Structure 1
Amino acid sequence: MNKNLEKTSKFLSYILRHQPEAIGIALDSNGWIEIETLIMQANQHGEYLTRDLIEEVVKTSDKKRFTISEDGLKIRAAQGHSTKQVEIKYQQQIPPEFLYHGTATRFIDSIKEQGLIAGDRHYVHLSFDEQTANAVGKRHGKPIVLKVKALLMHQQGFKFYLADNGVWLTHTVPNTFFTF
């Protein structure tokens, strides 16, 4: 991804996941905003966007962080929201036997004590494979990957959801359901 696309991706993540009010927009409860409104408000706040640039970011993002609506009129972040404006209604899914969570070793003591919690976000994010989880952990420091007993959790009543971009979501992972 080139520098301009990377900069735009970071801006879209900030606005669509965390601070839509920073450019004077409000997301609907499922996180959608009209692309034309997003462009107009971003441009008024000094961030140059075009439809082509947005579509290129969505198409080339290896993390598939954004989804454009089927009619092509709206955009949203696939997951990772911290804004209270958004509460996407994901369909509950049965997870595979194991999922993975990447984090940094400096968080392990806290995780051992309280399990995995969503914190400022709506959900704990889990990966289908260890490699992805390891890449996520590297973003935060020296990585460590936790192996989550997802199917066992589901069988005990925990709910799992699958975001548009393939990230598995759940509200919490008690420390009895993972290993290092």
Structure 2
Amino acid sequence: MIRKCSKHGYFRGEECPQCGIKGRYVLDSEREERLGRFISGVLRHFPREVGLKMDDEGWVDFELLCSLLKSRYKWATRERLISLVESDEKQRYEIDDSRIRARYGHSVDVDLDYPDNELPSLYYGVSQEEVDMLLENGISPIRQTYVHLSTSYGKAVEVAQIHTENPVILEIDAEKARRDGMSIMDANEDIALMEYVPSDYVCIFDGR
């Protein structure tokens, strides 16, 4: 459920996490999920199929998207789309004036323009069956334009456990990769993006 606090803006849940007030109702959980699924598809995978033009950096026209939503779901107001974006703890989307885009997760070709990542190490969780292959061949995108790396060990574990019970965490030598001229971008505070991670920069995280 999405609600709005008059002081702290949109939030998900029953009470504002900052001040504890209940706030104004904006969107129920079922419609939040339906709207989120559709927005994810449109901004990451099939903009052209629904009649939206996406530029090279993944942006589409915000008002056109609002009109499209309204034609599909009578309840999908402009405010509800904004609330979905601003209350999302995973920072999946961003609005810039008259444009909106997904911050990561694209399967369509995009040329994102985020700031350079400056962390010395990044992390990637995999199943035990995948480890040897990735250590030998490097990490390539799977159904996405970029490899999504975690900025912390804990986040890598959290993401990997969605797919496997006992993940192995790989460590990426981001500092060396940058020295060698490879581009690494920050999508948000938890996710960094690379087009491909060569095996030279990948090892099993040893906990040190």
TM-score, reference length from structure 2: 0.74
Residue ranges of structure 2 left out of the alignment (5+ in a row): 1-11, 13-28
Aligned to 1:79: 104
**Pairwise CA distance, 1:95:** 2.4
Against the structure 1 CA distance between its residues 42 and 157, is the aligned structure 2 distance closer, same or farther, given a 3 Å change threshold?
Answer: same
Aligned to 1:126: 149
Aligned to 1:159: 183
Q: Summarize the alignment of residues 101-120 of structure 1 with structure 2, pairs less than 5 Å apart.
A: 101-120=124-143
Deviations 1:16-51 (A, max 9, x none): 011112322121112111222112223434585221
> Which structure is higher in helix share?
1
Aligned to 1:173: 197
Match of residue 41, structure 1, among 48, 68, 71: 68
CA distance in 1, matches of 2:127, 2:76: 34
CA distance in 1, matches of 2:168, 2:33: 26
CA distance in 1, matches of 2:189, 2:37: 17
CA distance in 2, matches of 1:128, 1:165: 7
TM-score, reference length from structure 1: 0.84
When the two chains are superposed, the root-mean-square deviation of aligned CA atoms in Å is: 2.2
CA distance in 2, matches of 1:28, 1:22: 15
Indicate the percent of aligned positions where both proteins have the same amino acid: 28
Q: Given residue 116 of structure 1, which amino acid in structure 2 is its aligned partner? A: I
Total equivalences in the alignment: 176
Deviations 1:108-162 (A, max 9, x none): 3432331111244222111211121112112223333211111011112222112
Q: Given residue 170 of structure 1, which amino acid in structure 2 is its aligned partner? A: M
Match of residue 93, structure 2, among 55, 63, 66: 66
> Which structure has the bigger radius of gyration?
2
Residue ranges of structure 1 left out of the alignment (5+ in a row): none
Match of residue 122, structure 2, among 93, 99, 106: 99
Does the CA-based 8 Å contact 1:63-1:165 persist in structure 2? no
CA distance in 1, matches of 2:123, 2:155: 8
What SS does the aligned partner of 1:75 have?
Answer: strand
CA distance in 2, matches of 1:60, 1:105: 35
Aligned to 1:145: 169
Aligned to 1:11: 38
CA distance in 2, matches of 1:48, 1:19: 22
Does the CA-based 8 Å contact 1:94-1:154 persist in structure 2? no
Against the structure 1 CA distance between its residues 74 and 89, is the aligned structure 2 distance closer, same or farther, given a 3 Å change threshold?
Answer: same
